[in-house]
Structure 1
Amino acid sequence: MKRILSLIFLVLICKFTFAQRFHLGVFGGLAAYNGDLTDKIFPRKVTNGAIGITGNYEITDNFMLRAGFTFARVGGADRFSDDTVRQARNLNFETAITEFSLVGQYYLLNLYDNKFTPYAFAGLALYRFNPYTYSGSTQKVYLRPLGTEGQGIPGYGREYKLTQLAIPFGGGVKYAITNNLHLGLEGGLRVLFTDHLDDVSGNYADPADLLAYRSQLSVDLAYRGDELPGGAPTSPGKNAARGGSKYKDFYYFTGLHLTLRINNNNAWNGSGNSKSVRCPQVY
């Protein structure tokens, strides 16, 4: 009986030790957003880059916990829209995004017995954004303090938070270059709980309120149709639709994710092949 219990204990310890391996990763690719200032997927003129690092903890050969830090930049502009109403509004924005995420990643096939496998991931992310635009051609102006839709002004909505939660999910295909070096081609979407990533969501504020509680710059950047040749000189007026709050904004990435396994336990067998390191089986 003691021998059986000892063997079971050995198997459990072995599983815990050898089935959990650490991988370091780097990510590089493209980033874009969808919302009130663009509804196209990876629009050519406002698609930017994304870079990131990851730490990956292998629970089993098919399941991994992945923590990641990603930096990206996204933006949108009415001038690139096919919608003439949006073109007449003439708004634009950009924002840097810094994101920390923790996801579970599942491989359909394990990469120690197969060269390729599809995979999927989902989890939780904390991200920070801060939308800005340019007044004229050079002056960078952050939009949140301007309250362009009256946020923070009596009679209007509250100011939106710049640090928020998101739900990341996605998937891809991963290739085992070696047992320790894996390359994935993946895409990931972030579901947001805000419609203000682009600073556009609801209705126009009264320009008089913006001027009284904010500044002339707030009035100027809340509506920019007057900057266009022949554009309407003033905003459509208080409570006229400026954006659409029914659907939240979202941002997304696609790119390559390269991971290197650090703790491969090769010292136990000297072969350089993790597949030769196996736990004893109990029958």
Structure 2
Amino acid sequence: MRRIILLSLALLPVTVMAQRWHITGFGGVSNYQGDLQEKRLTTQQSHGSFGLGAQYDFSARFSVRGGFVYGRISGDDKVNNDELLRQRNLNFSSQLLEGNLLAEFRLFDLDEKWFTPYVFAGIGVFGYDPYTFDTAGHKIYLQPLGTEGQGLDAYPDRKLYSRVQVALPFGAGIKFRVTERVTLGYEIGLRKTFTDYLDDLSTTYVDEATLLAGSGAKAVELAFRGDELKDVTLAYPEDGTIRGGDKVKDWYYFQGITIGFRLFNSSGQEGRIRSGRQLDCPRF
């Protein structure tokens, strides 16, 4: 019996740690805020997104979680309320993949209550690659074109932006305990980025002839698309004309349903420890 007790005590920390692991899932929508989508939170032009990850509970109310989220973002001047911006006639789409590590704090212990609000914050790394379709329907990736003069000797301060960036995720949500091992919830997570080029749009137009000579006709075609509008005669803007706003960086966000699945039941040894009862010797 002594061996059984010693073995139980040896395995107890492993059991307790195992009971703190969860598999997490997410399904919802993704969107962005920038020069082609000025609303901070909206479902307009949103797209489906999903994620998968893991969570470890350090205590009843504090956890660290990490995982991956996939989504798509887009924006189009055609739905803009400003007539001048509609005449710019730009649009983009981009797939987006994020890996993150987050700290989560819950107001209540879900082993004691059936629901809890929570907040989270952390760090993430994401990849994106904005593209559009030309008038012939061909998919064109925008970053290599340097539509704002990136990479040209005439504009040495404009470099090609990186398609892998760091973000600061934060947000809030609410979770409901469905069973002892399963939770469902809803959360909104904002992402502060350090780039203004999620939509390939930030500063001013560059000289048309310089862009044509340095980056080609396709760059000129997609840097300004007002000439594609019907019944409107618009010329390519002069060098230095405002194309986008670079004072505020772009944001993206996810919102939707979360699910958590605890890998091991929280009853048993850990339950006895929480209740303050002693380990009982097995009876023969």
Length-normalised TM-score, structure 2:
0.88
Deviation, 1:179, is 1.8
The whole-number CA distance in structure 2 between the counterparts of 1:278 and 1:204 is 65
Q: Is the 8 A contact 1:31 1:42 kept in 2?
A: no
The whole-number CA distance in structure 2 between the counterparts of 1:48 and 1:18 is 37
Residue type of the alignment partner of 1:278: R
Can you give the 5+ residue segments of structure 2 that lack an aligned partner in the other structure? 1-8, 278-284
Give matches, 1:113-128, under 5 Å.
113-128=112-127
Q: Is the 8 A contact 2:18 2:263 kept in 1?
A: no
Q: Secondary structure at the match of 2:22?
A: strand
Q: Secondary structure at the match of 2:274?
A: coil
The residue aligned with 2:282 is none
Give matches, 1:89-108, under 5 Å.
89-108=88-107
The residue aligned with 2:129 is 130
**Which stretch of structure 1 is more off in the superposition, 120-129 or 227-236?**
227-236
When residues 264 and 155 of structure 1 are mapped into structure 2, their CA distance, relative to the original with a 3 A threshold, is: farther
Give matches, 1:145-156, under 5 Å.
145-156=144-155
Deviation, 1:161, is 0.3
Can you give the 5+ residue segments of structure 1 that lack an aligned partner in the other structure? 1-9
Give matches, 1:35-74, under 5 Å.
35-40=34-39, 41-44=41-44, 46-74=45-73
The whole-number CA distance in structure 1 between the counterparts of 2:42 and 2:47 is 9
Q: Secondary structure at the match of 1:278?
A: helix
Deviation, 1:207, is 1.1
Matched, 1:250 2:251: yes
When residues 277 and 256 of structure 1 are mapped into structure 2, their CA distance, relative to the original with a 3 A threshold, is: farther
The whole-number CA distance in structure 2 between the counterparts of 1:164 and 1:102 is 15
Deviation, 1:277, is 4.8
**Which stretch of structure 1 is more off in the superposition, 177-186 or 193-202?**
177-186
The whole-number CA distance in structure 1 between the counterparts of 2:17 and 2:276 is 12
Q: Is the 8 A contact 2:181 2:264 kept in 1?
A: no
Deviation, 1:178, is 1.2
The residue aligned with 1:278 is 274
Deviation, 1:54, is 1.3
When residues 81 and 170 of structure 1 are mapped into structure 2, their CA distance, relative to the original with a 3 A threshold, is: same
Q: Is the 8 A contact 2:180 2:266 kept in 1?
A: no
The whole-number CA distance in structure 2 between the counterparts of 1:182 and 1:158 is 46
Give matches, 1:150-169, under 5 Å.
150-156=149-155, 157-169=158-170
When residues 158 and 279 of structure 1 are mapped into structure 2, their CA distance, relative to the original with a 3 A threshold, is: farther
Matched, 1:261 2:262: yes
Deviations 1:176-228 (A, max 9, x none): 00121011100000000000000000000111111111110100000000000
Q: Secondary structure at the match of 1:187?
A: strand
Q: Secondary structure at the match of 1:204?
A: coil
Q: Secondary structure at the match of 2:240?
A: coil
Aligned residues: percent identity? 40
Q: Secondary structure at the match of 1:218?
A: helix
Deviation, 1:278, is 2.4
The whole-number CA distance in structure 2 between the counterparts of 1:211 and 1:77 is 24
Q: Is the 8 A contact 1:15 1:279 kept in 2?
A: no
Deviations 1:2-36 (A, max 9, x none): xxxxxxxx8xx859945961100110001111100
RMSD (Å) for aligned C-alpha atoms: 2.2
Q: Is the 8 A contact 2:22 2:56 kept in 1?
A: yes
The whole-number CA distance in structure 2 between the counterparts of 1:73 and 1:86 is 23
Q: Secondary structure at the match of 2:245?
A: coil
Q: Is the 8 A contact 1:67 1:101 kept in 2?
A: yes
Aligned length in residues: 266
The whole-number CA distance in structure 1 between the counterparts of 2:272 and 2:228 is 69
The whole-number CA distance in structure 2 between the counterparts of 1:203 and 1:184 is 43
The residue aligned with 1:26 is 25
Q: Is the 8 A contact 1:80 1:87 kept in 2?
A: yes
The whole-number CA distance in structure 2 between the counterparts of 1:149 and 1:183 is 45
Deviation, 1:265, is 5.3
Length-normalised TM-score, structure 1:
0.88
When residues 26 and 57 of structure 1 are mapped into structure 2, their CA distance, relative to the original with a 3 A threshold, is: same
The whole-number CA distance in structure 2 between the counterparts of 1:276 and 1:171 is 32
Deviations 1:23-58 (A, max 9, x none): 0011000111110001123243x2101110011111
The whole-number CA distance in structure 2 between the counterparts of 1:279 and 1:165 is 44
The whole-number CA distance in structure 1 between the counterparts of 2:136 and 2:120 is 41
